[in-house]
Amino acid sequence: MRQRRSLAGNILLAGVILILLFWVLFPFYWAFLNSIKKPADTFQSSWIPFLQFQPTLEHWRNELAIPEIRRALWNSTVISVGAASLASVLGTLAAYALARFHFHKPQNGTLTTWFLSQRVLPPVVVVIPFFLLMRQLHLLDSVVALILLNATFTLPFPVIILSQMIRDLPLELEEAAWVDGASRFQSFLQIVVPLILPGLVATWIIAMAFSWNEFLFALSLTTKKAIPMPVIIAGAEHTRGVQFWFVGVRVLMTMLPPLFLALLAQRWIIRGLTLGAVKG
């Protein structure tokens, strides 16, 4: 009886895993198929290359030859890397302050809640104020504006994760450095930062992925020079309808860079998020 229940449980678990894998991987498969299909094959029920249709790389060559596409890829890279780096630097300093100092007005818990509110707040609420602010600062249609905004909304990730990691570090390590003549900032750079490096890498990748995929601010604050890839994907609709072959190419161009980065650094991500887990 127990063996039957165990077998039924394993079958159910395998079924759930297969459903989840299908749910996650099907968009990649759909984008890949449409990126190598000819326009006439896109509207047919053909799913197996070389058997049901003849694949082509024509759409990839056409897309990569467009200056706007290359500029959008560059803009997405600069914006995501810049925003993730800025959020990581500021977030690490804020996390250290929350972990090692006791504030009264406002208190540490209030400050932590304020950082979390940056993720809870719907971005659409602040689009118009940010638009007016960037227009006043002459930063419309610039990567600087998107770097600042994305860094603001991804700042909670390094603050929350790294503050818990720093709390778990023994204060005696820093005190020993102070006794040897090191300043607080020196002990922070030479002792704390190396110990929380896995969490720092994990939060940087998370912030980079969120900044890479940001659409609303990019659509509202850019017109030509600073357009990133998410806006380019949304522009695949023409008078003849949605050009699915171009959508497939652009989706893969947008999804693959952060995916490869996450796969290469998955060991750091798992270790960093595990070390930064909040204790109950």
In a domain, 69, yes or no: yes
In a domain, 179, yes or no: yes
In a domain, 248, yes or no: yes
* Domain around 231: 59-275
pLDDT digits (tens, 9 = 90+) for 64-119: 888 988 999 999 999 999 999 999 999 999 999 998 888 888 888 888 888 888 87
How many CB atoms are located within 10 Å of the residue 273 CB? 15
Q: Which residues pair with 151 in a beta bridge?
A: none
Q: How many folded domains does the chain comprise?
A: 1
Separation CA 122–CA 208 (nearest Å):
19
In a domain, 14, yes or no: no
pLDDT confidence of residue 241: 66
How many CB atoms are located within 10 Å of the residue 29 CB? 11
In a domain, 25, yes or no: no
**3 state DSSP class of 205:** helix
pLDDT confidence of residue 130: 92
In a domain, 16, yes or no: no
125-143 in b/e form (b: 16+ CB < 10 A) is ebbeebeeebeeeebbebb
Residue 165 in tokens: 């990691």
pLDDT confidence of residue 248: 86
How many CB atoms are located within 10 Å of the residue 106 CB? 11
**pTM for the predicted model, two decimal places:** 0.82
In a domain, 176, yes or no: yes
In a domain, 20, yes or no: no
Residue 273 has pLDDT above 70, yes or no: no
The CATH number assigned to the domain holding 241 equals: 1.10.3720.10
Residue 239 has pLDDT above 60, yes or no: no
pLDDT confidence of residue 136: 93
